[in-house]
A and B are shown apart, each in its own frame.
Chain A
Amino acid sequence: MAQSRSVDESFLALPLSALADAALTRAVDLGCEHADLRVERIRTQTVRLRDARLEALSDGEDLGLAVRVVHEGTWGFAAGVVLTAAEAVRLAEEAVAVAQVSAAMNTDRVELAPEPVYADGEWVSAYEVDPFAVPDAEKTGLLIELSEQLLAADGVEHVTTNVMQVKEHKFYADTAGTRTRQQRVRLHPEFTAMTVDRATGTFESMRTLAPPVGRGWEYLTGTGWDWRGELAELPELLREKTKAPSVEPGRYDVVVDPSNLWLTIHESIGHATELDRALGYEAAYAGTSFATVDKLGTLQYGSGLMNVTGDRTAEHGLSTVGWDDEGVAGQQWDLIRDGVLVGYQVDRNMARLRGLERSNGCAFADSAGHVPVQRMANVSLQPAPGGPSTEEIIAGVDRGIYVVGDNSWSIDMQRYNFQFTAQRFYRIEGGQLAGQLRDVAYQATTTDFWGSMAAVGGPQTYVLGGAFNCGKAQPGQVAPVSHGCPSALFENTTILNTKQEGGR
Chain B
Amino acid sequence: MSQSTPQQLVESALAASTADGQITYVTESSEANLRWASNSLTTNGAMRSRQVVVISFVDGGAGMATGTVARTGTPDIAALVAMSEQAARDAGPAEDAMPLLSDAPAGSGDWDAEAAETSINVFADFAPALGEAFGAARSRDELLFGFAEHQLATTYLGTSTGLRLRHDQPTGKVELNGKSADFSRSVWAGVGTRDFTDVSITDLAAEVQQKLAWSQRRIELPAGRYETLLPPSTVSDLMIVAYWAMEARDADEGRSVYAKPGGGNRIGDRLAQLPLTLRSDPDAPGLETAPFQVVGGSSGSASVFDNGMPTPAVDWISGGVLTNLVRPRAWALTTTAPATAGVDNLILEDPTATASPAEMIARTERGLLLTTLWYIREVDPQTLLVTGLTRDGVFLVENGEVTGAVNNFRFNESPVDLLGRTTEASRTERTLPREWNDWFTRAAMPMLRVPDFNMSSVSPAS
List residues of A whose CB falls within 8 A of some B CB.
46, 48, 50, 53-64, 74-83, 87, 94-95, 97-99, 101-108, 135-137, 140, 144, 157-158, 194, 196-203, 205, 279-285, 287-288, 290, 369-371, 373, 408-417, 419, 421, 439, 441, 443, 445, 471, 473-476, 494, 496, 498-499, 501-504
Q: A83, B73: Cβ atoms under 8 Å?
A: yes
Q: B147, A284: Cβ atoms under 8 Å?
A: yes
**Minimal beta-carbon separation of B180 from chain A (angstroms):** 12
Interface residue stretch chosen among B307-315, B316-324, B342-350, B383-391: B383-391
C-alpha spacing A217/B399, complex, angstroms: 64
With a cutoff of 8 Å between Cβ atoms, the chain A residues found around residue B43 in the complex are 75, 77, 371, 373, 473
The residue on A at minimum CB distance from B32 is: A98
Q: A81, B48: Cβ atoms under 8 Å?
A: yes
Known: A53-B92, A443-B457. A503 touches B44 (CB 8 A): no
**B96, B127, B459: the one within 8 Å of A101 (CB):** B127
Q: B40, A58: Cβ atoms under 8 Å?
A: no
Q: A498, B412: Cβ atoms under 8 Å?
A: yes
Contact with A along B292-310 (1 / 0, CB 8 A): 0000111110001000000
C-alpha spacing A386/B172, complex, angstroms: 56
Q: A104, B128: Cβ atoms under 8 Å?
A: yes
Known: A53-B92, A59-B83, A474-B147. A105 touches B49 (CB 8 A): no
Interface of A is mostly: mixed
Interface of B is mostly: strand
Q: B382, A202: Cβ atoms under 8 Å?
A: yes
Q: A501, B461: Cβ atoms under 8 Å?
A: no
Q: A501, B127: Cβ atoms under 8 Å?
A: no
Interface residue stretch chosen among B99-107, B231-239, B370-378: B370-378
B336 within 8 A of A: no
With a cutoff of 8 Å between Cβ atoms, the chain B residues found around residue A443 in the complex are 410, 456-457
B202 within 8 A of A: no
**Minimal beta-carbon separation of B94 from chain A (angstroms):** 7
C-alpha spacing A285/B42, complex, angstroms: 13
With a cutoff of 8 Å between Cβ atoms, the chain A residues found around residue B1 in the complex are 80-82, 87
B179 within 8 A of A: yes
Contact with A along B153-184 (1 / 0, CB 8 A): 00000000000000000000001110100010
* Contacts A101-B123, A140-B90 supplied; 12 other A-B pairs, CB < 8 Å: A55-B95, A75-B43, A78-B47, A81-B48, A87-B1, A104-B130, A108-B40, A203-B254, A283-B186, A290-B461, A412-B374, A503-B417
C-alpha spacing A62/B176, complex, angstroms: 31
Known: A408-B377, A475-B149. A201 touches B254 (CB 8 A): yes
Q: B380, A61: Cβ atoms under 8 Å?
A: no
Known: A97-B120, A101-B120, A283-B177. A58 touches B70 (CB 8 A): yes
C-alpha spacing A55/B121, complex, angstroms: 43
Question: Could you pull out 17 A-B pairs where Cβ atoms are within 8 angstroms?
Answer: A55-B299, A57-B87, A59-B67, A59-B87, A81-B72, A105-B131, A280-B38, A280-B183, A283-B179, A410-B389, A413-B461, A416-B461, A445-B460, A474-B175, A475-B438, A496-B412, A504-B383
**Minimal beta-carbon separation of B52 from chain A (angstroms):** 10
**Minimal beta-carbon separation of B462 from chain A (angstroms):** 7
**B36, B86, B300, B389: the one within 8 Å of A50 (CB):** B300
C-alpha spacing A99/B44, complex, angstroms: 8
Known: A57-B68, A503-B417. A408 touches B42 (CB 8 A): no
Known: A78-B47, A284-B175. A417 touches B91 (CB 8 A): no
B261 within 8 A of A: yes
With a cutoff of 8 Å between Cβ atoms, the chain B residues found around residue A48 in the complex are 297, 299
The residue on A at minimum CB distance from B135 is: A107
Q: A417, B45: Cβ atoms under 8 Å?
A: no
**Minimal beta-carbon separation of B137 from chain A (angstroms):** 12
Q: A288, B183: Cβ atoms under 8 Å?
A: yes
Q: B378, A408: Cβ atoms under 8 Å?
A: yes
With a cutoff of 8 Å between Cβ atoms, the chain A residues found around residue B261 in the complex are 198-201
Q: B72, A475: Cβ atoms under 8 Å?
A: no
Q: A203, B461: Cβ atoms under 8 Å?
A: no
C-alpha spacing A94/B46, complex, angstroms: 8
B363 within 8 A of A: no
With a cutoff of 8 Å between Cβ atoms, the chain A residues found around residue B90 in the complex are 57, 135-137, 140
The residue on B at minimum CB distance from A288 is: B183
B15 within 8 A of A: no
Q: A54, B94: Cβ atoms under 8 Å?
A: yes
The residue on A at minimum CB distance from B138 is: A107
With a cutoff of 8 Å between Cβ atoms, the chain B residues found around residue A55 in the complex are 95-96, 298-300
**B33, B145, B263: the one within 8 Å of A284 (CB):** B145
Instruction: Please name the 4 residue pairs, one residue from A and one from B, whose CB atoms are nearest each other, closest first.
Output: A201-B261, A414-B461, A284-B177, A56-B297
The residue on B at minimum CB distance from A65 is: B73
With a cutoff of 8 Å between Cβ atoms, the chain B residues found around residue A414 in the complex are 459-462
**Minimal beta-carbon separation of B455 from chain A (angstroms):** 11
Q: B45, A410: Cβ atoms under 8 Å?
A: no
B39 within 8 A of A: yes
What class of interface size applies to chain B in its complex with A? 35 or more
C-alpha spacing A157/B263, complex, angstroms: 14
B71 within 8 A of A: yes
B253 within 8 A of A: yes
C-alpha spacing A60/B461, complex, angstroms: 40
Q: B68, A58: Cβ atoms under 8 Å?
A: yes
Known: A101-B120, A140-B91, A410-B388. A81 touches B134 (CB 8 A): no
Q: B377, A46: Cβ atoms under 8 Å?
A: no
**Minimal beta-carbon separation of B259 from chain A (angstroms):** 6
With a cutoff of 8 Å between Cβ atoms, the chain B residues found around residue A59 in the complex are 67-70, 83, 87
The residue on A at minimum CB distance from B411 is: A501
Q: A410, B87: Cβ atoms under 8 Å?
A: no
Q: A98, B255: Cβ atoms under 8 Å?
A: no
B367 within 8 A of A: no
With a cutoff of 8 Å between Cβ atoms, the chain B residues found around residue A83 in the complex are 73
B337 within 8 A of A: no
**Minimal beta-carbon separation of A190 from chain B (angstroms):** 15
The residue on A at minimum CB distance from B29 is: A369
Q: A98, B298: Cβ atoms under 8 Å?
A: no
Q: A501, B40: Cβ atoms under 8 Å?
A: no
B282 within 8 A of A: no
Q: B410, A102: Cβ atoms under 8 Å?
A: no
Known: A199-B262, A284-B175. A410 touches B454 (CB 8 A): no
Quick one: which of B32-68 are within 8 Å of A by CB? 32-50, 67-68
**Minimal beta-carbon separation of B169 from chain A (angstroms):** 16
With a cutoff of 8 Å between Cβ atoms, the chain B residues found around residue A373 in the complex are 43
C-alpha spacing A283/B293, complex, angstroms: 36
Q: A419, B120: Cβ atoms under 8 Å?
A: no
Q: B91, A57: Cβ atoms under 8 Å?
A: yes
Q: A474, B149: Cβ atoms under 8 Å?
A: yes
With a cutoff of 8 Å between Cβ atoms, the chain A residues found around residue B298 in the complex are 55-56
The residue on B at minimum CB distance from A81 is: B73
With a cutoff of 8 Å between Cβ atoms, the chain B residues found around residue A496 in the complex are 412, 456
C-alpha spacing A60/B67, complex, angstroms: 11
B414 within 8 A of A: yes
Q: A62, B72: Cβ atoms under 8 Å?
A: yes
C-alpha spacing A136/B87, complex, angstroms: 7
**B68, B71, B376, B413: the one within 8 Å of A63 (CB):** B71
B113 within 8 A of A: no
B446 within 8 A of A: no
C-alpha spacing A418/B38, complex, angstroms: 26
Q: B71, A198: Cβ atoms under 8 Å?
A: no
C-alpha spacing A417/B44, complex, angstroms: 31
C-alpha spacing A140/B186, complex, angstroms: 50
The residue on A at minimum CB distance from B257 is: A201
Q: A158, B253: Cβ atoms under 8 Å?
A: yes
**B71, B120, B380, B460: the one within 8 Å of A498 (CB):** B380
With a cutoff of 8 Å between Cβ atoms, the chain B residues found around residue A81 in the complex are 1, 48-50, 72-74
B404 within 8 A of A: no
Q: A474, B35: Cβ atoms under 8 Å?
A: yes
C-alpha spacing A157/B253, complex, angstroms: 10
Q: B263, A80: Cβ atoms under 8 Å?
A: no
Q: A80, B47: Cβ atoms under 8 Å?
A: yes
B82 within 8 A of A: no
